[in-house]
Amino acid sequence: GKTFARIEEALQQHEFVLYFQPKINMRQGRVFGVEALIRWQDPGRGLLPPSAFLPAISDTELEVAIGKWVLNRALHYLQEWQQMGIMLTVSINIAPRHLLQANFVTELTAQLAQYPELRPHCLELEILETAALEDIERVSNVMQACQKLGVNFALDDFGTGYASLTYLKVLPVHILKIDKSFVIDMLSDAEDLAIVTGIISLTQTFGRQVIAEGVESIEHGLKLLALGCENAQGFAITRPMPAEALPNWLSSWQ
């Protein structure tokens, strides 16, 4: 339709931009990474969030094309920051269709080859928990091939899908991201707190890392630390920001 054509045009016209949201280790007080989050700088409507355009292109080749652009831009900024002496990991959100493309590993290899100064383990791919379970064997094989390149995986929105513990056992994910819907209300909702507590203890059992998103206050951070989750992402630290703003933000943080 019209929307689809407009989004296609936006990609050609370079109207997409990447914002970045820091991830911190609360115990060390250290920023260790950033998540790349796409925005559409529409000349007529201003800055649009992913919810305004990604649903219209879900599971299409255009979504894959945008995914390739995101990967390339994220690596570009990462290299730029590295050249400034800023050592970070960058996480990008990978759509299921993109990950399951026959040539995904080849693409990833080629993209990384464009940035030879970057160590592959500085790149983390965030996969939705729900997507990871669609075709568990294929997903697992692709993830293992990417891991051989040195690329890490995060299971995003963890807790919102139906991840069986068996799947968690076989998937080579190094970190689980506790979905913000549980984190935001955990200080007032006993059930959400139980879910957050359960996910943290699950990661300990399975020898995985854990990060909480939706950390909106100091109290959220303190509670998570007490529960054994040291890693956090959320508005209490900062909202996502343009790439150009990150170096200054990092200076003021330290």
Using CB under 6 A, list all residues that contact ligand G.
21, 37-38, 49-50, 54, 70, 93, 95, 126, 156-157, 180, 184, 213-216, 233-235, 240
Q: At what angle do helices 104-113 and 136-149 cross, to 10 degrees?
A: 20
Among the listed residues 10, 53, 90, 156, the single contact to Mn ion using CB under 5 A:
156
Hunting for tokens 């190094």 — which residue is that? 174
How distant, in Å, are the alpha carbons of 56, 59, 155 from that of 3?
7, 15, 30
In the window 51-80, what residues touch Mn ion (CB under 5 A)?
A: none
Among the listed residues 35, 129, 157, 192, the single contact to Na ion using CB under 5 A:
157
Please report how close the Cβ of residue 85 comes to ligand G at its closest, in angstroms. Answer: 26
* Residue with smaller CB distance to ligand G, 105 or 180: 180
Among the listed residues 33, 92, 93, 159, the single contact to Mn ion using CB under 5 A:
93
Distance between CA atoms of residues 32 and 35, nearest Å: 11
156: contact with Na ion by CB under 5 A:
yes
CB-CB contact of 115 with 75 (8 Å)? yes
Q: In terms of DSSP bridges, do strands 46-48 and 175-178 run parallel, antiparallel, or are they unpaired?
A: unpaired
Please report how close the Cβ of residue 211 comes to ligand G at its closest, in angstroms. Answer: 10
Distance between CA atoms of residues 184 and 178, nearest Å: 11
Question: Quick one: tokens of 228?
Answer: 């054994």
* Residue with smaller CB distance to Mn ion, 8 or 181: 181
Among Mn ion, ligand G, Na ion, none, the one that 95 touches (CB under a kind-dependent 5 to 8 A) is ligand G
How distant, in Å, are the alpha carbons of 32, 98, 138, 152, 231 from that of 170?
26, 21, 12, 15, 23
Among the listed residues 7, 33, 122, 126, the single contact to Mn ion using CB under 5 A:
126
Total interface residues for Mn ion by CB under 5 A: 3
Residues binding Mn ion (CB under 5 A): 93, 126, 156
